[in-house]
Structure 1
Amino acid sequence: MSFAISVIGVVAVAWVLAYVGAPLWVWTLASALAYAAGVVTGGLGAVASVVLGVPLVLLALLNVVPLRRALITRPVFATFKKVLPEMSSTEREALEAGDVWLEAEMFRGRPDWSKLLTFRYTELTAEEQRFLDNEVEALCQLVDDWKIEFEDKDLPPAAWQYIKDKGFFAMLIKKEYGGLGFSAAAQSAVVTKLATKSIALAVTVMVPNSLGPGELLMHYGTDEQKKQWLPGLISGKEIPCFGLTGPEVGSDATAMPDSGVVCYGDYHGKKTLGIRLNFSKRWITLAPVATVVGLAFNLRDPEGLLGDRSKSEYGITCALIPAKHEGVHIGRRHYPGAAFMNGPIFGKDVFIPVEWIIGGPAMAGKGWRMLVECLSAGRGVSLPALGTAAGQAAYRLVGAYGRIRRQFRMSVGKFEGVQEATGRIAGNAYTLEAMRVLTASAVDHCAPSVVTAIAKYHMTEMMRKIVIDSMDVMAGRGVQQGPRNALAPAYKATPIAITVEGANILTRNLMIFGQGAIRCHEYVFPEMEAARENNLAAFDKLLFGHVGFSINRGIRALTLGLTGSALARSPVDGPMATYFKQFERFSAALAFTSDVTMGVLGGELKRKERLSARLGDVLSQLYIGCCVMKFYIENGQKAEELDHARWALDQCLFEIAKAFEGFFDNFPVKPVAKVLRLAVFPFGNRYKPVSDQLNARLADQIMEATDLRNRLTSLVFVNGGPNEATGRLEHAFNLLLKAEVPYVKYFKAMSKGELAGTDTASRLADAVTRGILNAEEAQLVAEYDKVRYDAILTDDFTPEYIKGDFSVPTAGSRADILAFTGSLARVA
């Protein structure tokens, strides 16, 4: 019995040491004390003393660093260097681009929650807020999205001029150069609001502020280049585009065939050192109207004219070229799912001076690093703003429609089947705004490359889900296109956000975990660097630190799983405490699973895209959960907001568990998969989807005029008036809030056949006669009923208009339609 107790005691001590992450010397000391106690008390016989003494001696020898390095680390080091996957210079540059931020805490298994809680959101300055309230509002008033998309296929001239005059293309350019110098948070808010009015308008504004000549010039341009180009870019005299993608190169920009060869040529009648370019670019936003083209190409210098005769292949280089430069041809327009300017650019034997390289000849071959550094930040602002716009607009419009539209004598938003969709809209919209605020603020502090990839992928995917759910709810009202329909343009444009700045398939399967596992891990990238530098001493320290890290995270994951995360830490009390603990549990599980996976699969993991994508999903959901918890806490932990936060966090936990399940089911080494599954889910996967009850509460809230609704949809453009797509539903909803009580009384009486009359007016008169309504209530109901019916109508057009003759009226007379239908017993 005493022996069993001793064994249990030893195991318990070892478990505690592993759980707290005790260093090697503590393990050695504890093992020596346990061994000595066993010998002194007689608990260990002669044979047991010898058997257990050998590993104790070996453990002690591990503390002798020179001996350990020679006997253990050196052969491991040699093997590690052999199995280490090759990394091209472009892969290295992409990997090193940007900064490691909060995502590292999620990957390390023991998050330092203070980094989340003490991080400050970027607050808009008074100047930024005025711009949002005035210039952005005015620009929205200048555009008619239906005319843009169906008739003109372009922004109106007044909008173009206003964009130029007010510096919308120069939000990113710092004030020291004459630009607006807006924060990433302000740019995000501007793009979000514009997108709620017109996707084409938002894309037109956002692209030069995302990846364009302005940003590249600020960061890398020579003083002469800044002096030449920035004033025109700021004033709007110059319209920029950037030629990166082409027929043979989409997400894999490093494979571009566009080439430049250093040579001498004639420029302005003088022999000039320059570059002979040949290129064919596609899908370039603003190309059809651009006056200056940023161009990426592969540079070669076979004659060593740049001064280094040992180097002929320089790689990707970026240059700035006037659109009217000889040999540059702007092709015809592409036409994506929105009417923003987009098209091809061609060039054959185009000669440019080497000084046109952004940053001058010294930056030859450094274009890829320039691009990924700028793109990693821009990816966290522009496209996430489009996703947020979809969420905010849907929350406001679909919620209003669900309350206004009645079927089977009940608001459609009260049907459980509809609530399944509207609850998701509400939850995802809340999640999107939480992600937008934190991610944009992060970009203001650093350049978090992994976080921005997470934001781009998941926020555009949420956009897709929200738009589809919205279409399901609004049905024919969302399908029939026309000036009344604010939803169809977003439905058409959603694939744009999914595709650009790195296709979502690539982002999920290659970037998030592939970059995150290496950059965010405490040991992996330093170990790779030690191997590249052949630094055995550094590798030895990292190796044994890594082993201890893996043991600790494995035991922590199992312990937290066994205890239901009870031993995890929460930095706050209240309803968020349990979520902080759950996320710490899964952080440990991710760290342990990743370490085992990399150890077992090695370089093969790079080709196991679906496996790495699932681990990327875990990392992503951990970050999304952080965004939501931060958002809820920063907003004052309001009671009306709690259900939205719980919905989002329950969804994150469910998605994490689902990703782990898919990973374990498909892991190629089944015994390892079983061990991993046991460590992560010792009692099985008990995480469920968001409950119907919680989802229903959000579906109810989305139809209410609450403070939360106003805060979550604060960036929706609502001032277009009752004849504009959003304004029409907004007007009807606001009138319903005043008229709903008498309208419901009238509607119930009418539905029961208690009112005489064949039209609304006569039935209301009878309702007044019977005392069901008073005269004032009847007038209010009549006004609302007219507005309600107009709000649910869809557009219709003449055949001539559909064929493109826009000189004829766009639709039949609304007055005629309402007069005709006014005599009907509209009981639906």
Structure 2
Amino acid sequence: MSPLSTSELDPIDILAVDEELGETERDIRDTVRSFARSELAPHIAEWFEAGTMPKDLTKRLGALGLLGMHLEGYGCAGASATAYGVACRELEAVDSGLRSFVSTQGSLAMYALHRWGSEEQKQQWLPAMAAGEAIGCFGLTEPDAGSDPSAMRTRARRHGDDWVLDGSKMWITNSPVADVAVVWAQTDPEQGAKGIRGFVVPTSTPGFTVNQITRKLSLRASATGELVLESVRLPADAVLPGAKGLSGPLACLSEARFGIIWGAVGAARDCYETALAYAGQREQFGRPIAGFQLIQQKLSEMAVQVAQASLLASRLGRLKDAGRLDPTHISVGKLANVRAALDVARSARTILGGNGITLEYPVFRHMVNLETVLTYEGTEEMHMLSIGKAVTGVQAFR
């Protein structure tokens, strides 16, 4: 067999990582990519600038089977973890806010209900959420409890057969448009229910309000808010019966972080692809800047980083499909791939020069979005410490 010639290389996937995808996974990739490029990409700059997304987009994403697509039953597609990752990659190649909406809906709110909820809760909410007819959010982070969710101040106390919740949650994706919130709260130790529990809270419940967070400079197309719970009274069956303790919400976060690992590849790929095309067209000193050594150095470094991030995401997808994915693997993936995506975005911006800071090109938008992705669902410091604990056996943050 003759060696692969340079002309046969795909400059966007130089290691041909997507050749490892199965037929169904390739079909999902092509479907989501086509939808993203034709229906989302032409409008995303406008949505980003306006700080909103169209209301009908939720049902369109549901019709494609993207909401809770890796879950089984209740109207969910039951796709492989790798297929879900590929879908996240193609969505975030357009904008992190789009992937954030899908992963909050499917990997946080729906996953919490699917894994920890009662059959009644699942039947009530999951089919509507899978179809995009109901939107969910996930209330864990608080103003004073980010990296340490065990320090949350939101409380749930028993009042007769009911639960009464008081507290607040901050930086909650989808909350301004949500129909239901999965809210985590400390229960009252004096009533024999000590520990963190999850509650299914319809957003129409009296005492439940959302204050939308505005003036954001990142993830502008994603709706974010503060949840305020003032004597929110819920029936006894509002509690998620299968989740007791912090392991419940942390398992949900691992699901969502998996989507981030793949999504970051999409953002990086789009920045690299944009810079590569621009360098081939932009002329200085009588020729395209792609012919200059320093530009080629940047492009080659970006190509390598995209390839490495793709390989890492692919490996973690296969581990997850095999039931072998560990939280430490998730920390490795999020830390490495979001860092790589940010590096690619920043380097791509320099190739585009002044054009790189406008919404005419996607690079700067990706760059500021990734600054948020770097922080949410586990800061890079916390992921480094999680990896450090795994390799040394010593916990450094308690």
Same fold (TM over 0.5): yes
Q: 1:382 to 1:411 in 2, by over 3 A?
A: same
Equivalent of residue 237 in structure 1, options 111, 133, 136: 133
Moved more, 141-150 or 450-459: 141-150
Question: What is the deviation of 1:517?
Answer: 3.4
Which residue number corresponds to residue 8 of structure 2?
A: none
Matched residues in 1 for 2:272 and 2:71: separation?
33
User: In structure 2, how many angstroms separate the alpha carbons of the residues matched to 1:499 and 1:232?
Assistant: 30
- Show the counterpart of 1:589: none
Task: Tell me if the contact between 1:453 and 1:507 (Cα under 8 Å) persists in the aligned partners.
Answer: yes
Give the count of matched residue pairs. 375
Q: 1:256: which partner in 2?
A: 152
1:487 counterpart residue number: 363
Matched, 1:458 2:336: yes
Match of 1:295, as an amino acid?
A: V
SS in 1 for 2:78: coil
1:181 to 78, 89, 112: 78
Structure 2 match to 1:165: 63
Q: How does 1:197-596 map onto structure 2 within 5 Å? A: 197-212=94-109, 214-264=110-160, 273-303=161-191, 312=192, 314-334=194-214, 335=216, 337-338=218-219, 339-359=221-241, 363=243, 366-379=244-257, 381-446=258-323, 447-479=325-357, 481-482=358-359, 484-508=360-384, 510-518=385-393
Across the aligned residues of Structure 1 and Structure 2, the Cα RMSD in angstroms comes to: 2.2
Name whichever structure is richer in strand by fraction.
2
| Distance across 2 between alignment mates of 1:516 and 1:285 | 33
Taking CA–CA contacts closer than 8 Å with sequence separation of 6 or more, which of the two structures ends up with the larger relative contact order? Answer: 2
Shift of 1:197: 2.0
Change (3 A) 1:156 1:350: closer
Q: 1:156 aligns with which of 33, 45, 54?
A: 54
Letter in 1 for 2:82: A
Do 1:206 and 1:382's aligned partners in 2 also have CA atoms closer than 8 Å?
yes
- Structure 2: how far apart are the matches of 1:336 and 1:168? 27
Question: Does the aligned pair in 2 maintain the 1:209–1:215 contact within 8 Å?
Answer: yes
> C-alpha distance in 2, partners of 1:139/1:461?
24
How far apart, CA to CA, are the structure 1 residues paired with 2:313 and 2:75?
27
3-state DSSP of counterpart to 1:245? coil
Report the alpha carbon displacement of residue 413 of structure 1 after superposing the two structures with TM: 2.3
Letter in 2 for 1:441: R
The answer to whether the 8 A contact 1:210-1:378 is kept is yes
Distance in 2, Cα, partners of 1:390 & 1:228: 35
Give how far 1:250 is off. 0.8
**CA–CA separation in structure 2 for the residues paired with 1:328 and 1:515:** 40
Would you say the 8 A contact 1:142–1:159 is kept in 2?
A: no
For residues 318 and 157 of structure 1, do their structure 2 counterparts lie closer, same or farther at Cα, with a shift above 3 Å needed?
A: closer
Q: CA deviation at 1:412?
A: 1.6
Conservation of the 8 A alpha-carbon contact between 2:345 and 2:366: yes
Whichever residue aligns with residue 165 of structure 1, its letter is: A
Give the share of equivalent positions with the same residue, in percent. Answer: 22
CA distance in 2, matches of 1:220, 1:169: 18
Which region of structure 1 is more displaced relative to structure 2, 293-302 or 385-394? 385-394
Q: CA deviation at 1:122?
A: 7.7
In the TM superposition, what is the alpha-carbon distance from 1:202 to its structure 2 partner?
Answer: 2.2
Contact 1:122–1:441 (8 Å) recurs in 2 = no
TM-score by length of 2: 0.88
Structure 1 residue 336, shift from structure 2 partner: 5.0
Query: Contact between 1:139 and 1:163, CA under 8 Å: does it hold in 2?
Result: no
Which has the higher Rg, Structure 1 or Structure 2? 1
Instruction: For residue 390 of structure 1, report the CA deviation from its aligned partner.
Output: 2.5
Give, in whole Å, the separation in 2 of the partners of 1:302 and 1:438. Answer: 47
Q: Which runs of 5+ in 1 are unaligned?
A: 1-120, 265-272, 304-311, 519-597, 599-604, 610-828
Q: CA separation of 1:440/1:467 partners in 2, compared to 1, >3 Å: closer, same or farther?
A: same
State whether residues 239 and 290 of structure 1, in contact with CA within 8 Å, keep that contact through their aligned partners in structure 2.
Answer: yes
1:146 is matched with 45
**TM-score normalized by the length of structure 1:** 0.43
Alignment gaps of 5+ in structure 2: 1-18
Separation in structure 2 between the aligned mates of residue 218 and residue 141 of structure 1, nearest angstrom: 32
What are the Cα deviations for residues 149-202 of structure 1, in whole angstroms up to 9, with x where unaligned? 113x2223443331233332231321x332111111111111111122233222
Contact 2:68 2:111 (C-alpha < 8 Å) held by counterparts: no
Q: Deviations over 1:461-517 (max 9, x none)?
A: 1111111111111111212x13x3121210221111101111112211x21111443
5 Å matches for 1:68-79? none
SS in 2 for 1:257: coil
Q: Quick check: 1:377–1:443 contact (8 Å CA) kept in 2?
A: no
**Secondary structure of residue in 1 paired with 2:76:** coil
- The whole-number CA distance in structure 2 between the counterparts of 1:336 and 1:275 is 37
Give 1:139 deviation, angstroms: 4.6
Aligned to 1:132: 29
Partners of 2:181 and 2:201 in 1: how far apart? 5
Per-residue CA deviation, residues 119-172 of structure 1 (Å, 9 max, x unaligned), is xx984453x543432355235422311111113x22234433312333322313
Q: Deviations over 1:404-450 (max 9, x none)?
A: 22212233223233233222111111101111111122122223111
